[in-house]
Amino acid sequence: MLNKVILIGRLGRDPETRYMSNQEPVCNFSIATDENWKDKDGNRQQRTEWHNIVVYRKLAETCQQWLKKGQLVYLEGKISSRKYQGKDGIERTAYDIVCDTMKMLGGKQDGTSSGYSPFPEEQSANRPVPPAPTASQPDSAPAQVGGDLQDDDIPF
């Protein structure tokens, strides 16, 4: 049997961290994932799903320090259900994603980095800078493969 979830989505709120009785941190936040399709009439449709995320221990501290609302993240974990009693006295079930892997995604356009580094200043300082092209070097622009692709043309 397998209980594995992989999500890529944007944070709906800044992470909130609490501490359990054993002083280990637990971090909670939500992410949104979107599903896009065209209906039978050719109209573009979209559905957003919200996922409650729970992260423990060292990864919880990392999430609290580095993640912000709106940021794109890759998460791996498992589905966990919990029962609670609502304000109306009715028992309900909530489903959380207990995350064990997190990677920050995105780029300069959304103000995020492409990965986690505890020392962001070293991340760019150790990256080699390519030399500027000179007149003797041929134009090294990559060839465009597949022409003009639209989001609708991508099969996944």
Distance between CA 107 and CA 83 in Å, rounded? 38
Q: What is the pLDDT at residue 81?
A: 95
pLDDT for 120 equals 41
Quick one: pLDDT at residue 5? 96
Sorted by where each starts, the structural domains of the chain and their CATH numbers stand as 5-112 (2.40.50.140)
Mean pLDDT by 10 residues, the chain (156 residues): 96 96 96 94 94 96 95 97 93 96 78 42 40 44 45 49
- The pLDDT assigned to 106 comes to 79
Contacts of 116 (CB under 8 A, 6+ apart): 62, 66, 102, 103, 104
Sign of the Cα torsion 66, 71, 76, 78 reads positive
pLDDT at 74 (0 to 100)? 97
pLDDT at 72: 96
- The conformation of residue 4, written as its DSSP 8-state character, comes to -
Residue 54: partners with Cβ closer than 8 Å, 6 or more residues away? 26, 27, 28, 80, 96, 97, 98, 99
Q: Residue 124 has what pLDDT?
A: 37
pTM listed for this prediction: 0.66
